[in-house]
């Protein structure tokens, strides 16, 4: 079945450590996105990519990094520079120009 | 700039009708989306409006007025499973960068 797979679903990290969240899609979508959601709040855009080997910063990119080496994959690294990384991270994709986002199930990161 | 506003919380009774409002300010309008998100889960697509008027889809309908920068989501015959957050979202300008409101948490009571 086509869809978006995020892993891991739950992740614990010590302060000062980098962590990478995986996002893979087999929908053949050009655009991919990473959002962050904090309790009781909406989604805030971290990074997005419209084509392979190209990506743009969203509204809260500081302390995060991404790569888009393959169309299917858009991993997000949460670096030690991110001051408050505990959050629910959502990856999404969309066909170019269509607008509708298809979301993965999310990764919940907790910094201990 | 771009701004999307919606109420933080709403409460309604099972079987009733509820309207969730959303106002937006965007630089270049390219449609408005509604998503549903249950606690701890990913959002799921509900509707997309690009022209003025009401779009009906079963128990859910979405309305858009571009001149007023206003949309609403109408939920009829409310069920307990409709308890969720409802997110209003709009693309930024001509990009596919989707900006979300903070969401409206709807509690359906017996």
**Cβ-based interface (< 8 Å): residues of A facing B:** 31, 33, 35, 40-45, 48, 50, 56, 58, 88, 90, 94, 96-106
Q: Over the stretch A8-56, which tens digit does the pLDDT of each residue have?
A: 999 999 888 999 999 999 999 999 999 999 987 789 999 999 899 999 9
Residue B4, classified by CB atoms within 10 Å of its CB into exposed (0-12), middle (13-18) or buried (19+), is: buried
Distance (Å, rounded) from C-alpha B99 to C-alpha B101? Answer: 7
Distance (Å, rounded) from C-alpha A100 to C-alpha B30? Answer: 12
Give how far A78 is from chain B: nearest CA, Å: 20
Query: Is residue B95 very low, low, confident or very high in pLDDT (cuts 50, 70, 90)?
Result: low
B4-23 residues touching A, CB cutoff 8 A: none
Query: Is residue B97 very low, low, confident or very high in pLDDT (cuts 50, 70, 90)?
Result: confident
Contact with chain A for residue B87, Cβ under 8 A: yes
Average pLDDT over residues A79-100: 86
At residue B23's C-alpha, the angle toward residues B21 and B28, to 5°, is 140
SS3 call for B20: strand
Instruction: Using an 8 Å CB-CB cutoff, list chain A residues near B103.
Output: 41-42
Which of A2-6, A75-79, B60-64 shows the lowest per-residue confidence on average (mean pLDDT)? A2-6
Mutation site for A-interface testing, chosen from B62, B91, B98, B103 by largest number of A Cβ within 10 Å:
B98
Nearby residues of B96 by Cβ (< 8 Å), 6 or more positions away? A31, A48, A50, A94, A96, A97, A98, A99
Average pLDDT over residues B31-40: 92
């Amino acid at each position: 079945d086509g869809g978006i797979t995020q892993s891991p679903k739950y992740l614990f990290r010590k302060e000062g450590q980098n962590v990478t969240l995986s996002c893979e899609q087999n929908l053949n979508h050009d655009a991919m996105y990473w959002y962050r959601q904090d309790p009781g709040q909406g989604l805030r855009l971290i990074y997005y990519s419209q084509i392979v080997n190209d990506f743009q910063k969203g509204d809260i990119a500081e302390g995060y990094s991404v790569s888009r080496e393959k169309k299917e994959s858009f991993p997000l690294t949460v670096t030690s520079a991110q001051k408050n990384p505990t959050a629910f991270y959502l990856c999404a994709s969309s066909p170019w120009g269509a607008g509708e986002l298809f979301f993965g199930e999310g990764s919940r990161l907790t910094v201990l | 700039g771009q701004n999307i506003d919606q109420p933080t919380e709403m409460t309604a009774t099972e079987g009733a009708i509820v309207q969730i409002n959303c106002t937006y300010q965007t630089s270049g309008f390219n449609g408005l989306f509604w998503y549903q998100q249950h606690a701890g889960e990913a959002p799921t697509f509900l509707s997309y409006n690009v022209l003025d008027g009401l779009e009906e889809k079963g128990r859910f309908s979405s309305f858009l007025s571009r001149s007023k920068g206003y949309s609403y989501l109408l939920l009829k015959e409310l069920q307990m499973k409709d308890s969720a957050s409802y997110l209003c979202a709009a693309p930024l300008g001509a990009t596919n960068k989707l900006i979300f409101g903070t969401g409206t948490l709807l509690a359906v009571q017996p």
